[in-house]
Structure 1
Amino acid sequence: MKKSVVPFAMLAALLAVPGQAMAQSGEVHFKILGTLVAPDGKIRDVKLDRIGLPAGSQTKANDNFVPTVAIEYFLADSISVETIAGVTQHDVDGRGALAGAGLVSNAKIVPATVTLKYHFGKAGGIRPYVGVGPSYFIFINEKPGATTRTLGATSQKINDTVGAALQAGVDVPINDKGMFVSVDAKRYFMRPLASWRANGVEVLRTRHELDPWVISAGLGFRF
């Protein structure tokens, strides 16, 4: 996902454009977004291996496109707090010596995130922003992939994980009634543990660099 760095470069350039602020203290923004979730998922460390992973084993989580919503509250004209809501689903497949192997199936993730944002610009114009904050990824209903099932794995679990998110984006007003277009890019830093069991006995435990890019665009409304 190196190409996803491009939106950050574009947003950095926008910081130099004189703009006007769109918000006041106490204002609320509501955003409806389409979101690309593009995780890494590679193995960072093998904690337990009773099945004998071949040398060069690696993994990758697939991308997904989902609807999300964001709610933002302005503490001051240029400072806000934002949270997002959505659920994304991913498989984890093998790479390298594990190429073609299905390892995790249908892992659903709730990426609970709160960011503190600083907005540039002044009233009525384009508002670039940057943000940072904590995140808590909740994993739901994940299952062993096809390959791990054939090897005897009867259950699979990825632990809920605390991480951090960096954020940059821009809000562009499109009328004088509080509607605007929003483009947002986040990079998360997460290190979850994945565990596979065969009839209750743990046979494999690995730590992964999940580290997704989350790129969103859509409409916002201010109240």
Structure 2
Amino acid sequence: MKKTAYLGAAAIAAFAAALATPAAAQDAGTIEVKVLGTAVLPNGEIDSIEGGTLATTVDGLGVQTEANDNFVPTVAVEYFFSPNISVETICCVTAHHVDATAPAALAGGNLVDKIHIIPATFTLKYHLGAAGGIRPYVGAGPTYFLFIKDEVGAGAISALGATDANLDDTFGLALQAGIDVPLTESFLLSLDAKRYFVKPNAHFYDASGTELLQTQHKLDPWVLSAGVGFRF
């Protein structure tokens, strides 16, 4: 609920500012660089069981999972094609683990550990507000989650007999809303909310390389950022 309220508040602020001022923005060719503190709040629940020798057993147990939150620094770079339209990309690495939440016998067990993700993301943004004033925006675009590290967790070893785990790199979609508030002619304060829709597959293998289980996870993180930017 708090995550939904954050995105809703950003969208309301954007449209309220748009009504109060005429549409205008930076000139074409303007670049903005932002340094942000970012909360990455994933879901991580199992969306479906895709296969593996233990698929029927795990499905019958009603196994469910969740991913932990993380807080990371983020750099965003934005280029304006026109006064109101820009494209933005972000740079960060976020780390998580996936734990079982059900059944009770497995709850708290670590299934996938030390997951490191590069969420390569580009969003096309539309800006509202007057030049030099408050800059609300909305955006959307593709993302590609690159899993650069993942390890089998102790819970998967004890419950499944797994010795290896792997997550598939996955394409998805990102939606965005936020607002930029000028502090000086060149510096600004930025508040940003993104919702990602990404469903990677996790694979668990035994020592012989046999796939014991393949699960698809509803990762779908909220990514909430605040920080400062420089315009040039």
Tell me which interval the TM-score lies in, with the shorter structure as reference length: over 0.9
Which residue of structure 2 lines up, in the alignment, with residue 4 of structure 1? 3
Once superposed, which parts of structure 1, at least 4 consecutive aligned residues long, lie more than 6 Å away? Answer: none
Where in structure 2 are there 5+ consecutive unaligned residues?
A: none
The letter for the 1-side match of 2:133 is G
Which residue of structure 2 lines up, in the alignment, with residue 16 of structure 1? 16
The letter for the 1-side match of 2:29 is G
CA apart distance, 1:22: 4.7
- Report which of the two has the higher share of helix: 2
Matches within 5 A, 1:162-181: 162-176=171-185, 178-181=186-189
Which residue of structure 2 lines up, in the alignment, with residue 214 of structure 1? 223
Helix, strand or coil for the counterpart of 2:108? coil
Q: Give me the identity figure in percent.
A: 51
Helix, strand or coil for the counterpart of 2:16? coil
| TM-score between the two structures when normalised by the length of structure 2 | 0.92
| TM-score between the two structures when normalised by the length of structure 1 | 0.95
CA contact (8 A) 1:78 1:119 kept: yes
- 2:184 pairs with 1:184: no
Match of 2:118 among 105, 110, 133: 110
Match of 1:159 among 130, 146, 168: 168
The letter for the 1-side match of 2:172 is G
Matches within 5 A, 1:1-223: 2-14=1-13, 15-17=15-17, 18-19=20-21, 21-51=24-54, 52-53=57-58, 54-97=60-103, 98-150=106-158, 151-176=160-185, 178-199=186-207, 200-223=209-232
Helix, strand or coil for the counterpart of 2:12? helix
The letter for the 2-side match of 1:101 is G
Aligned residues: 221
The letter for the 2-side match of 1:7 is Y
Quote the RMSD (CA, aligned, Å).
1.3
**Distance in 2 of aligned mates of 1:10 and 1:141:** 35
**Distance in 2 of aligned mates of 1:109 and 1:58:** 21
